[in-house]
Amino acid sequence: MDRFSPYFLGNILQLEDHFCRYYVQDVHRSQEESLDVPHMWFFDEEMAEQWLEQCVEYESCDTMRALRDFLWYHGTEGWQLHRMYDDAVLRAAALELVLHSLTVVIRPGFGAVVESGSDLLGCGYPFSLSSEPDSDARFTRMARHLNALVNHQKRRQATAPGQIATALDAYPGFHSGLIRQLPDLGGSPQRLAAIRYTARLQNRPSPVAQQIDTVAAALHLDREMRLACRTMLTISVNDPEVMTLIHEFAADHLAATGEQERRQLGIATTEDMATAFILAVAVLCSNHGAAVAGQVAILAKAAEQLHRLAKDLKSIEPRDWRSAKSRQAETERARQQPTPQRTPPPDPFQQDDRAEAAPLSPAAEEQNASQQTPREHTAAAQEPPPPHDLMMELYASEEEGEEPLNITDAGHLLVGPEQLQEKTTPERLDQVDISPGNYKFAQEARKVENRQLKS
């Protein structure tokens, strides 16, 4: 599941145009809960109606059906849809969007980026679309800064504090037990995914989101700055590729950190070091980081790259979380596998080149018959004779010039295994068989009467 999955599952209206998909959330979801995706809401009915008309132009039938269902199930004004034309339905849907300030999540198509302003909040309409930036280049630059930070940690003097420790000194009320109070902020991508999945199943806020709110509230007093900090941290922590890169850096940085600095920061594992790095980045992106920005130049550059990367990841379709090396290795394995060859079906018009078998001579047939086993010879001798064909008998009698058999009389012929025997025709009425099995007794009686009248 990607970051758009919760909004897709919780939407009450789904629309689409040429470039994006839109998930309208219910009235209980506020704008502050949609920090990791681009979204908008409307203050003017004309702008909302303009957006709906844009969706109708793309797919009129499905859009109007979805709008009528939205007004029927979620409308609060008692709309009489059976008396409303399409124009009235558009105006009613626009009024519902503005009246309840419904959040509309924007999912851009592949290759498109949603640009809604210079801030990370992404609020308001209309928005603009541009081509997707080179996110791989930003990942490469960020990895270069993180490697430089590890090298600086290795070359520094044993008594001098590292850049992460220097940045954390500017955190309000920082102490050695603070990182232990944020146990999930720097978790591995697999553990964070499990935490989010469990929170969605239980329909409760994620512990990671609560810890992010704690950090943002400690660093910012202004509401907009607090939302911007929450947005950056939410996107960074929920993106598996970013957290994989941070954990690789944390493992190397932890190995280069002395025991005294570890006790000072209160870190012992790779996840603790990842949490410390995220806190240091959050400090440098706030007003508290201005005092120490000159002392931690390499960490400041890494924080700036992470801030830009979070802004880009929010506005694009979710990327493949696997690393570039794993994707390249999978491509090479697929290229080395042999292509299965499909056997073509036989051509029905192709003539068989095989020579037909020559007929056997009478001497060869006798020799084959003599080579049969006694059991086969006995079975062939005991085969029953073929059944007598009544129609062939009728045709043969016509060809020889004989009087053709009467079909009525032919129905009384008894066919046996040896020969064809004819049933005798009665001469008097008392000789007519009137048993239930003789269903032609009336016809036989009529023949006897006719024969007596002629005589």
pLDDT of 222 over the 80 cut: yes
pLDDT of 186 over the 70 cut: yes
Cα separation, 19 vs 33, in Å, equals 24
- For residue 135, what pLDDT is reported? 81
Q: Which two tokens stand for residue 311?
A: 């802004």
- For residue 326, what pLDDT is reported? 64
Higher pLDDT, 51 or 438: 51
Torsion of CA 154, 136, 233, 230, to 10 degrees: 140
Q: Which of 171-175, 211-215, 277-281, 336-340 has the lowest mean pLDDT?
A: 336-340
- For residue 364, what pLDDT is reported? 66
Q: What end-to-end distance do the CA atoms of the chain give, in Å?
A: 104
**DSSP element (H, E) containing 168:** helix 163-168
Q: Which two tokens stand for residue 278?
A: 């995220």
What is the pLDDT confidence band of residue 197, given thresholds at 50, 70 and 90? confident
Output the CA–CA distances (angstroms, integers) from residue 37 to 54, 114, 188, 282, in the order listed: 21, 10, 22, 20
Q: Which amino acid is at 90?
A: L
pLDDT of 451 over the 90 cut: no
What tens digit of pLDDT does each residue of 374-391 get? 554 454 445 555 554 545
- For residue 281, what pLDDT is reported? 94
pLDDT of 412 over the 60 cut: no
Backbone torsion region of residue 147, taken as left when φ is above 0, otherwise alpha when ψ lies between -120 and 50, otherwise beta = alpha
Cα separation, 100 vs 144, in Å, equals 47
- Contact present, 236 and 189 (Cβ < 8 Å): no
| Cα within 13 Å of Cα(278), Cβ side | 34
Phi, psi of 91 (to 5 degrees): -65, -40
Supply the pTM of this predicted model.
Answer: 0.66
Q: Rounded mean pLDDT of 394-409?
A: 48
**List of residues 6+ apart from 372 with CB closer than 8 A:** 380
Higher pLDDT, 165 or 317: 165
pLDDT of 432 over the 90 cut: no
Q: Nearest CA to 40 among 9, 77, 59, 15?
A: 15
For helices 60-74 and 86-100, angle between their N-to-C axes, nearest 10 degrees: 50
What is the pLDDT confidence band of residue 3, given thresholds at 50, 70 and 90? confident
3-state secondary structure 19-63: CEEEEEECCCCCHHHCCCCCEECCCCHHHHHHHHHHHHHHCHHHH
Q: Rounded mean pLDDT of 105-129?
A: 69
pLDDT of 249 over the 90 cut: yes
Q: Is 15 helix (H, G, I), strand (E, B) or coil?
A: strand
**DSSP element (H, E) containing 105:** strand 104-108
What tens digit of pLDDT does each residue of 274-290 get? 999 999 999 999 988 88
Cα separation, 403 vs 420, in Å, equals 17
Higher pLDDT, 172 or 430: 172
Q: Rounded mean pLDDT of 252-272?
A: 91
- For residue 373, what pLDDT is reported? 53
- For residue 269, what pLDDT is reported? 93
Cα separation, 250 vs 149, in Å, equals 11
- For residue 94, what pLDDT is reported? 94
What is the pLDDT confidence band of residue 428, given thresholds at 50, 70 and 90? low
Higher pLDDT, 444 or 197: 197
- For residue 419, what pLDDT is reported? 42
Characterize the bridge pairing of strands 39-40 and 112-115. Answer: unpaired
Cα separation, 62 vs 417, in Å, equals 76
pLDDT of 187 over the 70 cut: yes
Q: Which two tokens stand for residue 252?
A: 């190397």
Cα separation, 124 vs 363, in Å, equals 102
Mean pLDDT of the chain: 79
Q: Which two tokens stand for residue 339?
A: 């292509």
- For residue 377, what pLDDT is reported? 47
Q: Is 93 helix (H, G, I), strand (E, B) or coil?
A: helix
Q: Rounded mean pLDDT of 326-350?
A: 68
- For residue 299, what pLDDT is reported? 93
What is the pLDDT confidence band of residue 420, given thresholds at 50, 70 and 90? very low
Q: Is 14 helix (H, G, I), strand (E, B) or coil?
A: strand
Q: Rounded mean pLDDT of 306-332?
A: 74
pLDDT of 260 over the 70 cut: yes
- Contact present, 163 and 148 (Cβ < 8 Å): no
pLDDT > 90 in the chain, percent: 38
Torsion of CA 320, 227, 95, 51, to 10 degrees: -40
Q: Which amino acid is at 97?
A: L
Q: Rounded mean pLDDT of 297-309?
A: 92
